Amino acid sequence: MQIQSHHINNIEIAEIISDKIIIENAEDALDLLGNIYYQGFDRMIVHEKNITPNFFDLKNKMAGEILQKFSNYRVRLAIIGDFSKFTSKSLHDFIYESNNGKQVNFLSSVNDALAALK
């Protein structure tokens, strides 16, 4: 795992770069959150491919548990990927509602994520 730092308008945004899944469960998310927060970041970009597919099954409540941790620590999060492959209406509604706020956004590109997090 690498952390790519982006600087925009005196704001540092951490982009997590990895070839493997780095968030398998809520504990992994909390460890990542603590690591990033300790390094002075309060905004993070994570690629959808680095999150377990179980996150996107809202029935198991994993997404809510993980995203609540980001909210509690006031770390803004952008998850980037192609979410059209998910067919769940409730997931699409969840993404829509999240994107109407500022805490968590589901976006298609790093550039979109940087614009949302700045």
pLDDT in tens, 14-72: 999 999 999 999 999 999 999 999 999 999 999 999 999 999 999 999 999 999 999 99
- pLDDT tier at 91, thresholds 50, 70, 90: very high
For residue 32, what pLDDT is reported? 96
What distance in Å separates the CA atoms of residue 46 and residue 112, rounded to the nearest whole number?
Answer: 13
Domain ranges of the chain: 2-77+89-102
pTM for the model stands at 0.93
Among candidate residues 75, 72, 65, the one with its CA nearest the CA of residue 39: 75
107-to-24, 35, 39, 95, 112 alpha-carbon distances in Å: 20, 23, 24, 9, 6
Residue type, 47: H
Specify the pairing of strand 11-17 against strand 76-80.
unpaired
Radius of gyration of the chain (CA): 13
